Every structure is written in C-alpha cells, then in structure tokens.
Amino acid sequence: MLGKRLKLLKEVVPKVSRFAFLSDADSAASKSLFQDAQGAAKAVGVKFQSVEVKTPNPDIEGALRVMVKERIGALITAASPLLYFHRKRILELVEQNRLPAMHPDQQWANSGGLMSYGATQVDQYRRAAVYVDKILKGAKPADLPIEQPTKFEFVINLKTAKQIRLTIPQSVLYRADRVIK
C-alpha cells in the first residue's frame, strides 16, 4: 500500500525527489511499513525519510518544521490512530506549507487532504457485519479466517490542489475513484 501511495504521489509531483513519511513513533507497524517501502522509493527515484511524532503530546508543528528544514517536497501520512486524531492540525500545516500529501484513507481527503489511497471503508464495514452475523449464529471467532481488504479507493481533492497551487495530471485524475471539486 505504501509503495502504491509513493508511486501515485510521485506522478503528481514528478520533479520532487524528497518525500517524508509522517508516523507515530510508538507504532512498530509504521516502522516496518517504512522499511518495506524503501525499495519502492528507490524504484520511483525519491529519497524517503521518516519523521515521527510521539505520544502523549505529539509535536506536529515540530515535525513540519523538520520537513521544511530538510527540504521535503511531498508527504505521506501513516495509518495511525494518533495521526488520525490530529488530522485537522496536520492538514492545516500541510496546506500552510503547500506540501503535496497522500493519506491512508478517504476521511483525510474528505477533511481537506490532497489525496488518499486505501481500503474502502464501506466494504470493510460490510465485511465486519458478515463476521458479526457468523458469530451471532454460533461461529467461534478463532475459527474465522482473517481477511485482507480487497477493495481500494483513490480520492483526489481538487479544492486542496488549487489551494496549494498544484495541477493534478489528467492521467492521475482518470484513475481516481472519486474527485472532490
């Protein structure tokens, strides 16, 4: 997933060579994803740098200052409850710094983020309902298989693109599942 987000963002900002991955410092999953994405970053020709925030009082402003100081040209946010909770502030700072950003789910784009690519939430809820139904009918949760998401959604927010003075290429717009105008 992170590799796909890198590729999509690189298509939107082809001249940018320094990307940041904003994540929760306490998330082992984010660290693992970041390490796994290094190959994808090299393949698309970008330097991919991790910028972490820590709980309980994440310094979102400090993280953005680091990105400005390091001349980061684009941002990818991790799928993290901590970042999701602070998404409004993150989106404000990203817009102020006119930083193109890719986010993990449609709620970010709905809230003003430039782009998101991730599992379709409606489908995840639908699949969860199937599991609840099976459990209520007597199935043991431990006997049910773990499912990976199968439906993904790519959302582009053109309002945000205009605010940060960014033109989204037609080739990318055509692939979007939803465009916010």
Q: Does 34 reside within a domain?
A: yes
Residue 55: its pLDDT value, please? 85
pLDDT, tens only, 2-14: 999 999 999 999 9
Q: Does 133 reside within a domain?
A: no
Please tell me the total count of domains within the chain.
1
pLDDT, tens only, 81-98: 999 999 999 999 999 999
Q: How far apart are CA 41 and CA 59, in angstroms?
A: 26
Domain residues for the domain of 46 are: 2-118+152-180
Q: Does 145 reside within a domain?
A: no
User: Can you list the residues of the chain whose pLDDT is less than 50?
Assistant: none
Q: Does 101 reside within a domain?
A: yes
Q: Does 27 reside within a domain?
A: yes
Q: Does 125 reside within a domain?
A: no
The alpha-helical segments, DSSP class H, found in the chain are 2-12, 28-44, 60-69, 81-85, 87-96, 106-110, 121-136, 158-163, 170-173
Angle at 30 between CA 29 and CA 34, to 5 degrees: 120
Residue 56: its pLDDT value, please? 84
Q: Does 93 reside within a domain?
A: yes
pTM: 0.91
Residue 48: its pLDDT value, please? 96
Q: Does 134 reside within a domain?
A: no
How many CA atoms within 13 Å lie on the side-chain side of 80?
A: 25
